[in-house]
């Protein structure tokens, strides 16, 4: 699943969300076809290319052929969505958005959620914005969705209830728990529909997460403001695998008086004891004598076993040990079907989002011996086939 980041530097509204997601590739015809399954007044989407400060994006307007101010209560909208043939995820997300709106409106007007009567928010354009946004999320295959901090304007806005302060009461309530900041812009930057959709979809607010950027879409707002380009930017990409971190123990000692033939045997025994890695490192010791630094990487739980093995199997009379931090690339082991039969391979995820395959040495060695093939040829053939 892809990551989406809503960069709300100029605020957010329902039409800006639709515009940005359409700019990312969602076909307008797909949206109209699916939304028409709802029992709504006749409408159509007017999608055009527009620019703000030289940045081009998609501008969306919902044109309603009949009464665009039709009001509905919460129960009407719930029944409309539940009975629709929309995909299950789309129905669930749409109901979550309207559920949040109903809770907020109910608290503001002191009435039960089930009795909330929507005015502007129950109109065709608002329903199209909400259901359209969730259809876009499903079509784009978005998984984790997050957003920037949200700017809000100042002043007043006119609505059915009269002249209300900006941000509107519903908007402020919907933004509870979300980081916001004030601006000197004297008009509405965040609409209730935009706030409801954003806070229902997004689970985190703050800086852009680590990702490999794939596409960028811009939704164009209605006003052409002087303070900033009136755009919503949505960036989608693939998640960057998180590095795995842990701590391990290093056990080491210096040896300059042991038969070299013993080293191979000791290495095998150390791996049997749970060693993660064993290294023999050439060094020069006191009196300029050549020697070997024995270095063993192990889990702390295996430290005592490793220490006993070194002291009993080598000529060392003492060892050093200490813990170190370790960072690893995520990896998984799977069984691959190849022309040699089943072979275990490691899939290692790199920080750039790529995955490279590493065949297991023991499997490759077995195949090379059984078929009398060069080991490197076995590696090359497996890599081509996996």
- Across 121-125, 159-163, 199-203, which has the greatest mean pLDDT? 199-203
Taking only the tens place, the pLDDT of each residue in 271-328 is 999 999 999 999 999 989 999 999 999 999 999 999 999 999 999 999 999 999 999 8
Rounded to two decimals, the pTM is 0.68
DSSP 101-168: HHHHHHHHHTS-GGG-EESGGGSHHHHHHHHHHHHHHHHHTEEEEEE--EEE--SEEEETTEEEESSP
CB-CB contact of 347 with 363 (8 Å): no
Angstrom distance (rounded) from CA 130 to CA 61 = 13
CB-CB contact of 313 with 265 (8 Å): yes
Q: Classify residue 322 by burial, with Cβ atoms within 10 Å: 0-12, 13-18, 19+.
A: exposed
Least Cα distance to 380 among 362, 358, 355, 347 occurs for 358
Q: What is the pLDDT of residue 118?
A: 67
Q: How far apart are the first and last CA of the chain?
A: 22
Facing residues of 219 across strands?
Answer: 58, 232
Query: Domain locations in the chain?
Result: 2-239, 244-328, 331-385
Taking only the tens place, the pLDDT of each residue in 58-93 is 999 988 865 544 567 888 889 999 999 999 999 999
**Correct CATH for 244-328 of 3.30.70.1380, 3.40.50.970, 3.40.640.10, 3.20.20.120:** 3.30.70.1380
Q: Which CATH superfamily is domain 331-385 in?
A: mk0293 like domain (3.10.20.300)
Taking only the tens place, the pLDDT of each residue in 347-370 is 888 776 678 899 999 999 999 999
Facing residues of 217 across strands?
Answer: 234
Distance of CA 30 to CAs 27, 75, 132, 175, Å?
A: 5, 27, 10, 30
Q: What is the pLDDT of residue 352?
A: 66
**pLDDT band with cut points at 50, 70 and 90 for residue 96:** very high
Alpha carbon 19 to chain centroid distance?
22
């Amino acid at each position: 699943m892809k990551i989406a980041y809503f960069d709300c530097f100029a605020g957010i509204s329902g039409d800006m969300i639709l515009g940005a997601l359409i700019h990312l590739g969602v076909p307008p015809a797909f949206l109209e076809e699916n939304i028409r399954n709802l029992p709504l007044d006749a409408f159509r989407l007017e999608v055009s290319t527009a620019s703000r400060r030289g940045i081009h994006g998609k501008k969306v307007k919902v044109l309603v052929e009949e009464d665009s101010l039709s009001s509905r209560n919460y129960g009407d909208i719930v029944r409309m969505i539940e009975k629709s043939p929309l995909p299950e995820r789309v129905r669930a997300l749409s109901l979550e958005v309207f559920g949040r709106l109903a809770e907020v409106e109910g608290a503001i007007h002191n009435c039960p959620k089930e009795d909330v009567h929507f005015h502007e928010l129950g109109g065709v354009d608002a329903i199209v914005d909400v259901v359209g946004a969730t259809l876009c999320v499903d079509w784009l295959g978005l998984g984790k969705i997050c957003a920037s901090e949200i700017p809000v304007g100042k002043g007043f806005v006119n609505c059915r209830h009269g002249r209300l302060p900006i941000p509107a009461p519903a908007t402020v309530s919907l933004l509870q728990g979300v980081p916001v900041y004030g601006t000197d812009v004297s008009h509405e930057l965040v609409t209730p529909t935009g706030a409801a959709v954003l806070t229902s979809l997004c689970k985190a607010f703050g800086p852009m997460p680590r990702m490999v950027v794939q596409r960028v879409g811009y939704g164009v707002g209605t006003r052409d403001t002087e303070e900033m380009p009136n755009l919503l930017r949505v960036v989608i990409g693939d998640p960057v695998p998180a590095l795995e971190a842990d701590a391990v123990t290093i056990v080491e000692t210096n040896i300059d008086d042991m038969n070299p033939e013993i080293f191979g045997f000791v290495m095998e025994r150390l791996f049997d004891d749970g060693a993660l890695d064993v290294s023999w490192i050439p060094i020069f010791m006191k009196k300029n004598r050549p020697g070997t630094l024995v270095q063993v990487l192990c889990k702390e739980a295996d430290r005592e076993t490793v220490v006993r093995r070194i002291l009993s199997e080598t000529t060392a009379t003492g060892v050093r040990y200490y813990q170190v931090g370790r960072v690893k690339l995520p990896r998984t082991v799977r069984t691959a079907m190849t022309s040699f039969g089943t072979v275990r391979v490691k899939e290692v995820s790199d920080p750039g989002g790529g995955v490279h395959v590493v065949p297991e040495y023991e499997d490759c060695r077995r195949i090379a011996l059984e078929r009398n093939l060069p080991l490197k040829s076995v590696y090359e053939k497996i890599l081509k086939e996996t």
